[in-house]
């Protein structure tokens, strides 16, 4: 029996096709991330998977049972699937411990373990309006986890968080998978947030899944400019330019990340450093190699603007 099966899901909203014939399987304990620009259909797909939105075509099966939409059930949602929206709400004028107690299905010991994983034990006596946005999100997440779900669906969990709270939430989500053995499915408009977490990444554009694979595959071998740009800066080279740089390819275009352009010994390709930008742990240089411009990232201080260097491209 498969864990989660999505088969031919399509959905129109306001006469616009938002999700188009999406199919995939997610095995239990696989960490799956769905990436794509705003409006690519990610959130709509998650709501259908969670039983919160009616699909027009196709089916979703969870642990061998069909996930029904809100038109088919009295209370929307599916047993065993917990969904956290980026627009979550918590009851006002209640202490955190009261919010957590409401839907708790776990023993006191198991619930406390969830609260520890979510880093919220110090918030119990505070009222809802006395915690930060990042803390509120972790409270909302813990409340869902105390319902004992088998699949946790997170819609843009890192949106609107500062760097400190974003990193805390990343740690929490990682621990949910490893310590609580709960399967996670999440979306992000910033796929860099999921590269180090996901086992598999699906990329959506205009409601369709256009590429999927391991984080390494989708990062290093994007199929087009859209997929490449989602994960950061890149060098787009034609097959002719690639040949000049010593790269043999049967594709009409390839995508090279800046860190794959490296300094070489005397046998490398001659290039001039046009500019250097500092980004803290690394610098980024714009190079001119003949008629080709390339971005190269390296340790700070490795090159200076205006100097000549030798480079090679690693694949």
Query: How many angstroms separate the CA atoms of 206 and 279, rounded?
Result: 33
pTM, whole model, 2 decimals?
0.93
The residues, ordered by sequence, that sit 6+ positions from 197 with a Cβ below 8 Å of its Cβ are 31, 33, 170, 173, 174
What's the CATH class of domain 4-227?
alpha beta
Task: List pLDDT tens digits, range 166-200.
Answer: 999 999 999 999 999 999 999 987 877 899 999 99
SS3 content of the chain, % helix, strand, coil (to 5): 25, 35, 40
Can you tell me the distance from the alpha carbon of 311 to that of 265, in angstroms, rounded to the nearest whole number? 8
- Domain 233-313: top CATH class: mainly beta
Tokens 């005397």, residue?
Answer: 266
Mean pLDDT of the chain: 94
- What is the location of CATH 3.40.50.300 in the chain? 4-227
Q: What is the DSSP letter of 126?
A: S
pLDDT in tens, 100-126: 998 899 999 999 999 999 999 999 999
- The 10s digit of each residue's pLDDT in 17-69 is 999 999 999 999 999 999 999 999 999 999 999 999 999 999 999 999 999 99
- In the chain, where does the domain assigned CATH 2.40.50.140 lie? 233-313
pLDDT at 293: 97
């Amino acid at each position: 029996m498969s864990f989660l099966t999505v088969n031919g899901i399509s959905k129109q909203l306001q006469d616009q096709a938002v999700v188009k014939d999406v199919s995939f399987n997610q095995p239990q304990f696989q960490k799956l991330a769905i990436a794509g620009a705003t409006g690519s259909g990610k959130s709509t797909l998650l709501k259908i998977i969670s039983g919160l939105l009616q699909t027009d075509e196709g089916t979703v099966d969870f642990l061998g049972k069909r996930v029904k939409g809100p038109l088919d059930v009295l209370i929307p949602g599916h047993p065993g699937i917990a969904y956290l929206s980026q627009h979550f709400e918590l009851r006002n004028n209640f202490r955190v411990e009261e919010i957590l107690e409401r839907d708790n299905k776990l023993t006191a010991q198991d619930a406390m373990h969830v609260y520890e994983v979510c880093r919220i034990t110090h918030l119990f006596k505070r009222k809802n309006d006395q915690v930060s946005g990042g803390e509120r999100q972790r409270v909302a997440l813990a409340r869902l986890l105390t319902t004992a779900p088998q699949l946790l669906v997170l819609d843009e969990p890192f949106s609107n968080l500062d760097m400190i709270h974003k990193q805390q939430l990343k740690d929490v989500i990682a621990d949910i998978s490893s310590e609580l053995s709960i399967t996670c499915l999440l979306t992000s408009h910033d796929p860099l947030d999921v590269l180090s977490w996901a086992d598999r990444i699906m990329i959506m554009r205009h409601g369709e899944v256009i590429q999927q694979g391991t984080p390494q595959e989708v990062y290093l071998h994007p199929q087009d400019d859209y997929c490449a740009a989602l994960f950061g800066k890149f060098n787009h080279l034609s097959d002719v330019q690639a040949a000049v740089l010593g790269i043999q390819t049967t594709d009409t275009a390839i995508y090279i990340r800046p860190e794959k352009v490296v300094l070489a010994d005397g046998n490398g390709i001659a290039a001039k450093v046009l500019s250097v930008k500092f980004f803290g742990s690394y610098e980024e240089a714009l190079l001119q190699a003949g008629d080709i411009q390339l971005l190269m990232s390296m340790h700070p201080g490795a090159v200076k603007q205006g100097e000549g260097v030798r480079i090679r491209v690693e694949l």
